């Protein structure tokens, strides 16, 4: 049911949708929303592995924007679900370019949150000439320090969740990088009796700290748990397939482009230091720190700032 108090635009259905085979293994789901003659936008979901939600279409004025959304390799409606083979940041960037060519788009606004912000920066730095600008939320630069925080540092705020997360792991495998490796081994196991408890524990460990205020527990979703558990652990174990601090080092490739950064002050998944570092490296970007929000894109303060950003870009026309 549509909530008239929500900062989001009303629900909207895709104008087109389909599947695109990107190699012999992976086929990705895509959809197009809004005005076919409008300003193109690329939407990048989080995770990796979280997939799309109908809510993601609602950050954009459908009369003005032509929005392309897709489930990244191994996520959502893309197949095979949770597949980590042939799944790297560089291959996701190639998929984005395939979609751009498929849609006949020369340039687009790039919108991404959490892991979506990581992929947006990586894509922009690889193909700056294809980008009109950026709307980025909950910044994740995929550094070792951020991964260590995600797995261990958060115990300072959620000790009970951390205790629950490490409980299935032998004590000698709980410290430092050994915890991630222990989870990767379980999550990637071919035995469902081993990998299902592991992916559910991983997904729950993240999901219960997304919002600033406690939310009602959602029904378990096997597709979400498998996609998030497998792909997040896979990408973290490989440092996102980046060189050390690559996204900050190469910011000069996109620093001439307009950007809005939206960050929740109390985000304990992607803490504000990453957004601060990005803004320091990219002083032309506008940083909006939402004072009463955590990580969730659907928290009202975050949603309001994201819609405000797309409306701001709308007033800029074609960014000439």
One of 71, 225, 250, 267 is an active-site residue; which one? 267
Catalytic residue flag (residue 295): yes
One of 195, 279, 295, 303 is an active-site residue; which one? 295
Q: In what order do the strands lie in the sheet containing 108-113?
A: 16-21, 27-34, 65-70, 39-44, 108-113, 131-137, 259-264, 286-290
Backbone phi and psi for residue 100, each to the nearest 5 degrees, phi listed first: -60, -45
One of 114, 117, 233, 303 is an active-site residue; which one? 114
Cβ–Cβ < 8 Å for 115, 46: yes
Catalytic residue flag (residue 114): yes
Catalytic residue numbers read: 114, 267, 295
């Amino acid at each position: 049911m549509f909530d008239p108090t929500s900062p989001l635009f009303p629900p909207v259905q895709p104008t087109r949708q389909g599947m695109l085979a990107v190699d012999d293994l992976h086929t990705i789901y895509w959809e197009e929303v809004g005005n076919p003659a409008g300003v193109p936008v690329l939407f990048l979901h989080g995770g990796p592995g979280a997939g799309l939600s109908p809510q993601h279409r609602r950050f954009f004025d459908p009369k003005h924007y032509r929005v392309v959304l897709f489930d990244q390799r191994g996520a959502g409606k893309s197949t095979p679900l949770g597949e980590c083979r042939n799944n790297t940041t560089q291959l996701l960037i190639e998929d984005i370019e395939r979609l751009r060519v498929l849609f006949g788009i020369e340039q687009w606004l790039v919108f991404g949150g959490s892991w979506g912000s990581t992929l947006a920066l990586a894509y922009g730095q690889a193909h700056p000439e294809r980008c009109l600008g950026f709307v980025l939320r909950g910044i994740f630069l995929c550094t070792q320090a951020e991964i260590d925080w995600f797995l261990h540092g958060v115990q300072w705020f959620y000790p009970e969740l951390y205790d629950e997360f490490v409980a299935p792991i032998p004590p000698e495998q709980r410290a430092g990088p050994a915890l991630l490796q222990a989870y990767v081994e379980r999550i990637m196991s071919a035995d469902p009796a081993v990998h299902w408890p592991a992916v559910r524990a991983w997904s729950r460990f993240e999901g219960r700290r997304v919002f600033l205020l406690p939310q009602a527990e959602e029904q378990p979703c096997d597709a979400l748990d498998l996609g998030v558990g497998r792909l997040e652990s896979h990408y973290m174990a490989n440092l996102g397939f980046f060189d050390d601090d690559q996204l900050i080092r190469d910011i000069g490739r996109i620093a001439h482009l307009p950007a809005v950064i939206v960050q929740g002050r109390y985000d304990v998944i992607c803490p504000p230091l990453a957004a601060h570092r990005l803004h320091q490296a990219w002083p032309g970007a506008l940083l909006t720190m939402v004072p009463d929000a955590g990580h969730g894109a659907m928290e009202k303060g975050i949603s309001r700032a994201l819609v405000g950003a797309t409306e701001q870009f709308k007033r800029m026309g074609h960014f000439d």
